[in-house]
Chain A
């Protein structure tokens, strides 16, 4: 057993660091540090810089633009991105539809979509959840009825992140309701400009407009946009949700937030804004959070190391999403506590961080919206309760 990265891995880390220092635009870095909302152009701009370097879709197969990196290299890359305050690419493009098309796409679909997806020439959104199908996703009802060379879609999706910006949607639709509910679901791609699609924004508790309702009224989708076999969309969706685990606990992000907390601790103490016993309590809380983060980090590294030997399901891997999301949320809670009443005057999601009168106090206005919005991470992608159901069933045999 040993903890250290190899000399080759350390050299790779230096290479990533040097690239990020050079390539990350200063305005994007500043927005990330201040927790400002990134608009679509920001995300696209950065993704294209990464893509030009060949690092936009590193875990895709090499023939589709990926890198033959080891799990350790992927871990290092993600951690360095977070520590450098680099934005993440669109998860819908990079982590979801890309890997799905690499695995299940027809040659025509790969040709048409993959390069454009890696470069975000196409901005994707995900149409999974419905008003009656959240945790119980398989009970979804939006129908796709075959009529000649088309499916005709009717129904509604909800919580569709970034649908207002999206060029295309990938989603799950019911093509057959006669059998088990997991059967008869099909995975379809649709152009968001198709007539019959209505997007309606949902305001979330951080004041943001990232989530939407999407309504389908006789929307015609060509049959060539079916991914995988008709009725086998559930298998495709499971692949999408379980494909990447070298970064699932998001240790880098939490470390970056921790360093922000440590910086705040020092600055507020130096300014006399923390009484001595407040300082002690904060130091104790930070030590507690750091212990939890260290334990999670080591657990993630155990999984990374195991994946290098072939991986497979194991107990350590199963806890990463639940504990990782709890950790991310805890960080935002602590920053919000530090902001105190001054943090009440946010100007909402879209302007967080920009309204502060003092140049370095953007964190105060950004704290609460960030705290509020981060509640979603333990809900989406299979809530933490669903994760526990899965662990109880698959690992404990309960």
Chain B
């Protein structure tokens, strides 16, 4: 049992923390958000230069072979900075589909381009009219000569506007498949929007979209199993990002309690607020523990992995809500202005709960699995 970062992991942490604190303060984030894409290509190049876009890919595919703990370290820093760049969308979420299911040829085409920052990926999975989180889809993939035809509508495609390649889930004659779709393919229509958390999202319409046989990731009938693994990896990363956002939110709040004067004293001298700040700290620390559990569970057997990652996301959802709401409340009116960072952190925490199964969804999954602790 050991919860210390290795020397290499500490170096990684120092590097990414320094990058975020030196190049991505709240003003720089605001500036990135006002660009047409809604994020900073310069910051993206910075992440590429540090090798972080290659981090979780296997060394033989052109990556650095980083595991769950490395991903946790990076995502926590990204959370601290409320970074808008498509790290999670490209490297973690769509990237996991590549890691889990791409052939050697597919990886050779995609991984180096992602690693260098040239190619943005986005996962197109969610659909209207379905439960808010599910592996199910209605988008149809029909076999045609030399490939497939895709038809359907995808919503909440994170960073869909900037994506060069979409990873699209669709029904096949024998199950479900995942397809690599060039965003420029005729029949792909992308309607960009901005998420409440500032992160770009898009609705994507696929009408008679033809892709070659080489676009298929996996066998064409194992798409649900692949997605489940992909979502587990991406969920562990979201939990870690949540820890970063909560840590930043907590620090901002304690700082405010020490400086804001009312009734002639710092408001942090009031016990009602002190206890609420301690409650925030407790939620943060419990979440930190669960981010570690999730990161270390990615390579565990399927049963342990499922239970631990769902437990982590369920805890993170509750903690994020408590920390976000309390931070806004204790900041008073400044907490609800767009000019101040804490409100944006609150919104990102709200989005993190909503993505890949909220607290209720993961609790229901735990019920199905027979609880957090296995019977043995």
Contacts and interface: CB of A to CB of B under 8 A. Distances in A.
B3 A287 contact: no
Contacts of B273: 398
Contacts, number: 135
Contact of B274 (A280, A305, A392): A392
B269 A302 contact: no
A291 interface: yes
B366 interface: yes
Interface stretch (A88-96, A202-210, A213-221, A383-391): A383-391
Contacts of A290: 311, 366, 371-373
B293 A396 contact: no
Nearest to A6: B1
Interface string A265-294: 000000000000000100110111011111
Given A72-B1, A284-B364, A398-B258, A302 B274 contact: no
Interface string B344-374: 0000000000000000000110110001110
Given A287-B363, A291-B363, A298 B293 contact: yes
Given A299-B285, A398-B254, A398-B257, A2 B4 contact: no
Given A288-B363, A290-B311, A299-B285, A398 B277 contact: yes
A302 to B, nearest CB: 5
B311 A294 contact: yes
B315 interface: yes
B2 to A, nearest CB: 5
Question: Which of B1, B4, B69 gathers the greatest number of chain A CB atoms within 10 Å?
Answer: B1
Contacts of B371: 262, 283, 286-287, 290
A323 B279 CA distance: 10
B1 A295 contact: no
**Contact residues on A (Cβ < 8 Å of other chain), bracket:** 35 or more
Given A2-B296, A3-B296, A298-B292, A388 B278 contact: yes
Interface string B254-271: 100110000000001101
Nearest to B72: A1
B48 interface: no
Nearest to A297: B289
A62 interface: no
A1 B278 contact: no
Given A255-B373, A298-B292, 16 more contacts: A1-B6, A1-B292, A1-B295, A3-B293, A291-B372, A293-B372, A294-B311, A301-B1, A301-B3, A305-B1, A319-B281, A319-B282, A323-B286, A388-B274, A389-B274, A397-B254
15 contacts: A1-B2, A2-B1, A3-B296, A3-B297, A284-B367, A287-B367, A287-B371, A305-B2, A319-B286, A385-B275, A388-B279, A389-B271, A389-B274, A396-B254, A398-B274
Interface of B: 1-6, 69, 254, 257-258, 268-269, 271, 273-275, 277-279, 281-282, 284-290, 292-293, 295-297, 308, 311, 314-315, 363-364, 366-367, 371-373
Interface of A: 1-6, 9, 72, 255, 258, 262, 280, 283-284, 286-288, 290-296, 298-299, 301-302, 304-306, 309, 315-316, 318-319, 322-323, 385, 388-389, 391-392, 395-398
